[in-house]
Every structure is written in structure tokens, then in C-alpha cells.
Amino acid sequence: MATPPRKTDSGITVRQQYGPADIDPARQPGDAGSFPFTRGVHPSMYRSRLWTMRQYAGFGTARQSNERYKYLLSQGTTGLSVAFDLPTQMGFDSDHPMSEGEVGKVGVAIDTLADMELLFDGIALRSISTSMTINATAAILLCMYVALAKKQQADLSAISGTIQNDILKEYIARGTHIYPPQASMRLVTDTFSWCSTHLPSWNTISISGYHIREAGSTAVQELAFTLANAKEYVRAAVAAGLDVDRFAPRLSFFFNAHNNLFEEVAKFRAARTLWAHIMKEEFGAKNPDSMKLRFHTQTAGSSLTAQQIDTNVPRVTLQALAAVLGGTQSLHTNAKDEALALPTEASARLALRTQQVIAFESGVTDTVDPLAGSYYVEALTAEIEARVKEYLAAVDALGGSVKAIEQQYFQTEIADSAYKYQRAIDEKQKIIVGVNEFTVTEEEKAELLKVDESIRDEQIRDLQRVRAQRNNDAVRDALGGLAAAAKGTDNVLPHILRAVEAYASVGEISDVLRAEWGVYE
């Protein structure tokens, strides 16, 4: 009786054995640090510098999140990664009716610069790299960070970090958009332009495949749709008059790491190769740094199970190992209890320790691209590249990502993949340990983090105090300038910065832009 073929999660058939015949002699990955960067963006990779160990954190008020940040820093994390609550992501203040029940729940509540000051109290921005997972309101939160850095007298040319600022994937997979796509793209390109002059060390976007994968895409679709969106951002920036080699070196990417170890490693290697060729051949980049795909990785939240949560520890370990073998520049490891709640301090520490064990005990950092030359990995890398190119050609034929989004192309492809994946689980064609096989009748009760409902009252009191103490004439003047810039063609970032420095709130600034640009339904 013939056994069914083995396939990766992207549907790539896996043969029983691979050998020299499976390697295309025309494919020359070269050395790490050299075009097309298949083996890594730096010649020595982790031998000279480990990846940045970030732990994504933020909940409740800025005071509470500040305590968690200081704890993580004391435990050896080397970069902060800020999670914002839904009202902050959607441009609503904590006292807005739409914020009820959501303040501080899935991230920290930030209403004004006063909250940002509390969030980083006692933390010198010049000495830490900060990533902020924020999109529709990214320009506002970035300006708050800049205003705080100025107060700390930090050198703006040296402060480093990333804003996600990837609005296209919000229309595709996540939904925390505010304005129509064209207006949102203007915010993105205005940010590119302003930062290229004022924040040269800042990553102005983290083009995200993570949420595309969380929505149910395959690994191939995650990479293809992310690169399609990246091309759209580059096209928009060039159309706005920016020189590609001026802004492209500060583009960064954000990918998911799932359980299929070898497919994930091959995906990351293919990503670097494809992007190098896209930037050189399609956009005429001359600076090698414009061709280097630098990326942050987060382990797969959608793979975590609420059943037998300790089983999530080996899952996350495998996923983190895939990211490191794939050459990530930055990594967040999910905590075992995140299928049920925000992580406790103890589970966040264990997630960080997972990275540290890989870094200091496994030996995988001793040599560059340890899986290079594996017949299987090289064949998978080539196959993923070929399949991604087919998707990119299809998106280009539709007129690019914005047009593809408007035609529901991405959304339909992802929904189909998510359905097939779930059906495979339901029919036990795919085994999820503890869910459809190796189950238990009784679960040990886990200690979970709970965010108190009184958070919103506290946040509203702080917001009202800021509004009473600030110079409201200065706020009105700054918001008026922002409205005029939004109506015209001036870069809006200087006006947003002026508004946040006057302690205008996220909601007030977002409302000005809503009034000028409308809301996407």
C-alpha cells in the first residue's frame, strides 16, 4: 500500500531523499554579506553580534508596562518591543466610547506624551533599541518617542528602533486601519522622508508577513504577499520623489516562524535572495544596503494551544531555532500562556531564556548559515523562490498591492489556505499535539495575568489632568497646522511632532486626519 506523499505546510511535496541532482548548479548563493545575501546580510553574522533579543510587552497603564520593561532588561533582553492597546492602535483616546472594555487589554494605553514619559521612565532611549508595533497611528507614536528623546537630550541621529508602519497588511489581514489606502500610504511615505533627514538610524517600516501568516496564509504566501507590499511602498516613495538609496537601507521586515523547521529556514533564505534581486533589478538600487533584507521574527502565536500549555515551550523553541538558523536580526519568543492571556512575568522570563539557551548553549551561532549546502534546504529554498515569483507576477498583473487589496485577492487566497489547514486538522491529516491527538481529560490550572477593569478609570483621570494642565491654545494652533498640511501637500510629520509636544492626544490628532482624509470602511 502506497503511503501518502509528505508535504510542507505550503503544499510543497517532500521527497524521501535529496542529493546533488536536486541542486541547481546555476544557483550561486555566494558568501554571507555578499549579493544576493542568501546566506546572511553580514559576513560574520552571529559570530560578531547576536540577534537582538526582544520580548514583546505592554499592558495596562504606562506605569505597569514600565515595570515589566525594567524587569525584562534586568533579565538580559537587549531590545524593547512595545505592544499598544486597541484604542491606541485605532486612534481613540481612553475616554472615547469606542475604547470601553479595551483600555490596556492587549497592550499599553497611550493617550499623550505624558504616557510615553511614564512608559520609558528611568530608561535612556539612547542606550536601547525600541520596536513599536503600531500602524495606523505609527507617525503619532513615533513623534511621541522623538519628543521624549529630545527631552532626554538624546542625539536623534543615533537613536535606533523600528515602527511597524505597515498599513497595507491591515487591509489584508488585521483590520486596525483608519484612513483610506491612499491617505495611509501618504503617512507612510511622509514618515520615510522625514526620518531620512532627522532619524537616520531608525527603521521607518517593518513590512509585516507575521499577521498575514497569523490570518492563515502558507509560508509561501506570507513571503510573497509581504514582498508585494514592500514593492508597493518602494513604488510610492519613489513616486513621492524620494531617492531609492536614500530610504531603502532603513526598510525592515517582520516574519513569522512556524513549526516546519526546514521550510521556515528556507523561507528566510529565499526572502533575502528575492529582495536583493527586486531592489537591484526592478528599482535600480546601487547601494548594497538597499538590497539587504533585514528582519525581525516572532514565533507563531497562532500555533500556541490553550490545551496543555507547557507543550508550547518546545513549539516556541523549534520556531526560534528556525529563525536563528534562517539568519534573523531580531527575535521575540512567545510565552507558553499566550493562547489564554498576556504572559505572566515568569512565562515571559522562560520565553527569553529560550533565546538565551539557543544563543549560548546550542552551537548554532558558531558558523554562518549552518544549513547551507543541505540538499533538502537548498532545494526547498529554490522551490519557495519559484512559487513566490508566481504570486508576485499575479499581484503585478492586478496593478500592485493596493489594487489587489481592493479586488480582495490577498484576502481570498489567505481564506482558502486557512480553510484547507483547518480541514487537515479536523480530519487528522495534520496532528496538533494536545488538540487532535495525545489529549488529556484534565488540565492543570495555569496562573494567568489579568488586567484590572479599573485601568480605564485611571487612564481617563490622567488624560483629564493633562488636558487641564497643558496650553490648550498651543494645542489648537498645532492641530490647525496639521489640518492645513493634511489638506495640502506638506509633510505632516513636523506638524504631528509639534502637536504631541503640546500634549495633544492620539485621538485628537487622529480626528484631525479623519476629518481631512475620511475613514476606510
pLDDT tens digits along 95-128: 999 999 999 999 999 999 999 999 999 999 999 9
C-beta atoms surrounding 300 within 10 Å: 20
pLDDT > 70? residue 1: no
Task: Specify the pLDDT at position 2.
Answer: 64
3-state secondary structure 87-136: HHHHCCCCCCHHHCCCCCCCCECCCCHHHHHHHCCCCCHHHCCEEEECCC
Task: Specify the pLDDT at position 76.
Answer: 94
Please give the average per-residue pLDDT across 181-187, as a whole number.
Answer: 95
CB 513 within 8 A of CB 179: yes
Domains and CATH numbers, the chain: 48-426 (3.20.20.240)
pLDDT tens digits along 276-324: 999 999 999 999 999 999 999 999 999 999 999 999 999 999 999 999 9
pTM of the model: 0.94
Please give the average per-residue pLDDT across 450-473, as a whole number.
Answer: 93
Please give the average per-residue pLDDT across 24-45, as a whole number.
Answer: 94
pLDDT tens digits along 206-219: 999 999 999 999 99
Please give the Cα distance from 105 to 452 (Å, whole number). Answer: 9
pLDDT tens digits along 323-356: 999 999 999 999 999 999 889 999 999 999 999 9
Task: Specify the pLDDT at position 283.
Answer: 98
Residue owning grid cell 486612534:
91
Please give the average per-residue pLDDT across 150-179, as a whole number.
Answer: 95
CB 202 within 8 A of CB 162: yes
Please give the average per-residue pLDDT across 497-516, as a whole number.
Answer: 98
User: Percentage of the chain with pLDDT > 90?
Assistant: 92
pLDDT tens digits along 231-289: 999 999 999 999 999 999 999 999 999 999 999 999 999 999 999 999 999 999 999 99
